[in-house]
Amino acid sequence: MIISCPACATRYVVPESAVGVDGRTVRCAKCRHSWFQEGAPPEAVSEPAAQEARPAAAPPPPPPPTSRPIRQPAPEPVAASPVAVAELEPEPRTTAFDEPLPPPVRSEPPPPFEDEPSHFEHEPPFRPRRNWLKVLTYSGVVFALVTGGLIAAVSYLGLPDWVPVSRPTFAMGQRDLQLDFPADQQERRQLPNGTEFFGASGTITNIGSTSHDVPPILIVLRDARDRIVYSWEVYPPKRTLAPGESMSVNEAVTDVPRAAKVAEIGWKPQ
């Protein structure tokens, strides 16, 4: 069969079996144009087969011989057909790679976890900025309360023994209470049996206009290097003194260290 390129009009002679009855896509070898070529109808394909199936007709009998040869006219030359006897390049059948790719499938984002904030909630997903002025104010209030509590506890109970600070030997002077222990009334001597004896004498006077409770007295003995070698507490005979009232205190102890040289008398610290 003869097919023609619809783009450049180049014609090709191809066997009918190459196109088939259903037709196929072919491509021009000259201009590379592709098109779908319809196949030959079934009648055209079956007619040559029917002609081949018919028995060949008997040839006509030869003419009788004559004395002169019969000259037959020479056949006229047939003009060359403009059909290009060239092999048509069939269009290769399309494969899966020539087919258009399917549109990409858009995957849905996974649902947010319950503990993660959603961007579509009414509240913002960020934390509010801290107000440092409020933080410093609250810190100052807490520090003031703690410090005030510690000062009150130390004033009432005194420093604990494990605190590594120097503590005063005697308490501060009591209001309107006056101690009077002259040095010439402090006696230190050795008894006949060799025991060291120390005695202290003095008075406590209320010089105020109201009555006052009398706290204990502390007597401290120091050596030549001003180190405390002995101390004891003395409770006065009366716990309360009226305005202008005075009382005497006489106290003595034995077995004091031999290194004791100086005596100091004051109020016992709380």
Q: Let me know if residue 104 belongs to a domain.
A: no
The CATH number given to whatever domain includes residue 253 is 2.60.40.10
Backbone dihedral angles phi then psi of residue 263, each to the nearest 5 degrees: -115, 140
Q: Radius of gyration (Cα) for the chain, nearest Å?
A: 69
Q: What is the pLDDT of residue 117?
A: 56
pLDDT in tens, 84-111: 434 445 444 444 344 555 666 666 666 5
CA 27, chain centre distance (Å): 64
Q: How many folded domains does the chain comprise? A: 2
Q: What is the pLDDT of residue 58?
A: 56
Q: Let me know if residue 134 belongs to a domain.
A: no
Q: Let me know if residue 208 belongs to a domain.
A: yes
Tell me what percent of the residues of the chain surpass a pLDDT of 70. 64
Q: Rounded to whole angstroms, how far apart are CA atoms 120 and 125?
A: 9
Q: Are 240 and 212 in contact (CB under 8 A)?
A: yes
pLDDT in tens, 2-35: 888 888 888 888 888 777 778 888 888 888 888 8
Average pLDDT, the chain: 75
Q: Are 199 and 187 in contact (CB under 8 A)?
A: yes
Considering 100-104, 141-145, 154-158, the range whose residues carry the highest mean pLDDT is 141-145
What is the pTM assigned to this prediction?
0.39
Buried b (16+ CB within 10 A) or exposed e, 47-66: eeeeeeeeeeeeeeeeeeee
pLDDT in tens, 173-210: 888 899 999 888 888 888 888 888 888 899 999 999 99
Q: Let me know if residue 250 belongs to a domain.
A: yes
Q: Let me know if residue 258 belongs to a domain.
A: yes
* Residue-number span of the structural domain to which 20 is assigned: 2-53
Tell me what percent of the residues of the chain surpass a pLDDT of 90. 19
Q: Let me know if residue 149 belongs to a domain.
A: no
